[in-house]
Amino acid sequence: MQTASSKSSVASVTAQPAIDQAEQPFPIQALPPSLRNLVKTVSAEYQVPESLPACCILSAVSAAIGSGLSIQTGTERFTRGNIYIAAGVPSGSGKSEVFRTILKPVFEQQRWLDQESDREQAKRQLKLLEVEADIRSVRKQLLLVRENGGQTDQSRDELAGLMRRKARLKQASSWRIICDDATGAALEQLLSRNPLFSASDEAGDAILGNLLGRFGRHTDEGIYLRAFSGGYHAGVDRVGRESVRLNDPCLTVLWLMQPGKLETLYAQPKFREDGLLARILPCRIETQPQKRSRSSANERVKQLSQELMRDWNRLWQSLHEAYHLVYHRKSGVSHKLPLPSQADRLDEHYNRTVERRLGELADMASFPARWTEQAWRLLVVLHAATHGNRAHLQPVRSVTAAIQIADWFAEQQLILLGQSRAALAAERARSVGNLFQQQMTKPSPRDWITARDVQMSRITPTAEEAKQILKRMEASGLLVSEARRPKRGGHTELRYRSRPS
């Protein structure tokens, strides 16, 4: 039986050595000129790394196209350009100023929509009064027809149509394209109407709190999983709540938060296991509070920024009108980009990358498995930013740039995973130690375990991850293995025992 000292040693196992955490500069050359110049200027004006405005501008372009533009990535598979970005940025670094500057076209569009909604409110109220008057009139007519023994089918159909119209008028609300602090249930309601942009420069408390289930007993990430990939969903039905139908929900995410909050997000096993974290493009942006310059050079930067902002506003509006609005008004019509000529290059790049690193990342296999898809999504965003509202008419040539940006986010992801993998490995090692104890208390006790035992005990979600944790524990000198081949033939079984102390 495993001793207390050996059990303690098992719990001390950690993951492989951490990856170099030196901050790598964002590949600014991969951005099209329409974005690159603005990112550089905003970076200079607010004295922040280029990665901060780059994250904001990529998200804003993604939100502008919504579901209206996708690219063929397989025989019958199309991938949209909606992306999820979560950046850890220290307080006092200028993140809110950058956030508001880059997202200015989005906020202006939402304000215009709100004003239009206010103007339409009086008209809706008048129409509602008219419909209610018609309902009363048809009801009276229906009663008269019934009393006279006549056919009521026509009156019933007319009444049902009026009731449906009344319900639609009551449900009408302002068209939302951006939101901040929203629960999962609220997001479902908003996404049932049109694509949405979840954007916050203080995402740590409100949004992270919602995800962790501050308004319920369980975590609240389900809608984020569905809205990433889209497709038709039967909907959401709850007792005491109106049913929601989600037809190809599309969400873009930009969350700027304190670095500690980003680490908290990555420390949640549930988000790792269900795939939420693998869908997120993360980064940690190292900045220092800096004094603002009042020099003439700084004034020239601001003037240049104004010119670039006018161009950026026109680009964003043109993309929004050509793709986001068209998709909404034409009930799900999306422009499809054909499979690019360099598609094989993108796939081969990530096939080689994943194959090379899958062994070291076996316990996090869902992350590299998403890298190819993330590159495709970034490709749609870069193509739209390059060609504007004529993107669906132009051949796709931004494959190299998409790979460069996707690789940068992948390295950032590995750095964050390196910080959480040690804690996860230690927790799993403790669970393996407990599994040894459980095996000894069974009616037929045994002092060994297999990778299948580890998986069946739900210590790891896959058999490959179970094999990797046992191999690492053996390499650390905590376990010893023995290959056993059944007497009657079959697969060789690898049994692990606790190494005697």
Strand, coil or helix: 268:
coil
Q: Is residue 183 part of a domain?
A: no
Residue 125, in any domain of the structure: yes
Domain assignment present for 232: no
Q: Are 262 and 285 in contact (CB under 8 A)?
A: no
Stronger pLDDT, 403 or 205, i.e. the higher one: 403
CA atoms 458, 460, 464, 467: torsion sign: negative
Tell me how many domains the chain contains. Answer: 1
Asked if the structure places residue 151 within a domain, the reply is yes
Helix (H) or strand (E) holding 253: strand 251-257
- Helices marked H in 358-460 — which ranges? 371-387, 399-440, 451-456
Mean pLDDT estimate for the chain: 83
- pLDDT bracket for residue 14 (50, 70, 90): very low
Instruction: Grade residue 239 by pLDDT with cuts at 50, 70 and 90.
Output: very low
pLDDT of residue 412: 93
Long-range contacts of 225-229 (CB under 8 A, 24+ apart): 225/274, 225/275, 225/276, 225/279, 227/82, 227/187, 227/191, 227/196, 227/251, 228/82, 228/84, 228/279
Evaluate whether residue 143 is within a structural domain. Answer: yes
Residue 16 has pLDDT above 80, yes or no: no
Q: Is residue 142 part of a domain?
A: yes
Residue 129 placed within a domain? yes
**Cα gap 255→262, rounded to integer Å:** 9
Residues 495 and 501: their CA atoms lie apart, in Å, by: 18
Whether the pLDDT of residue 313 is over 70: the answer is: yes
Give pLDDT, residue 24: 82
In the predicted structure, residue 46 carries a pLDDT above the cut 60 = yes
Interval 388-446: pLDDT, tens:
999 999 999 999 999 999 999 999 998 888 766 677 777 888 899 899 989 888 888 99
Q: Is a pLDDT exceeding 70 seen at residue 180? A: yes
End-to-end CA distance of the chain: 11
Please state, for a pLDDT cut of 90, what percent of the chain lies above it.
37
Secondary structure of residue 336 in the 3-state scheme:
strand
**Rounded Cα–Cα distance for residues 399 and 42 (Å):** 26
pLDDT confidence tier of residue 60, bands split at 50, 70 and 90: very high
Between residues 113 and 105, the one the model is more confident about = 105
Domain that residue 136 falls in: 113-171
More confident residue, 148 or 84: 84
The answer to the question of residue 167 being in a domain is yes
Which of 81-95, 142-156, 174-188 shows the lowest per-residue confidence on average (mean pLDDT)? 142-156
What's the rounded Cα separation, in Å, for the pair 143 and 156? 10
Q: How far apart are CA 332 and CA 193, in angstroms?
A: 11
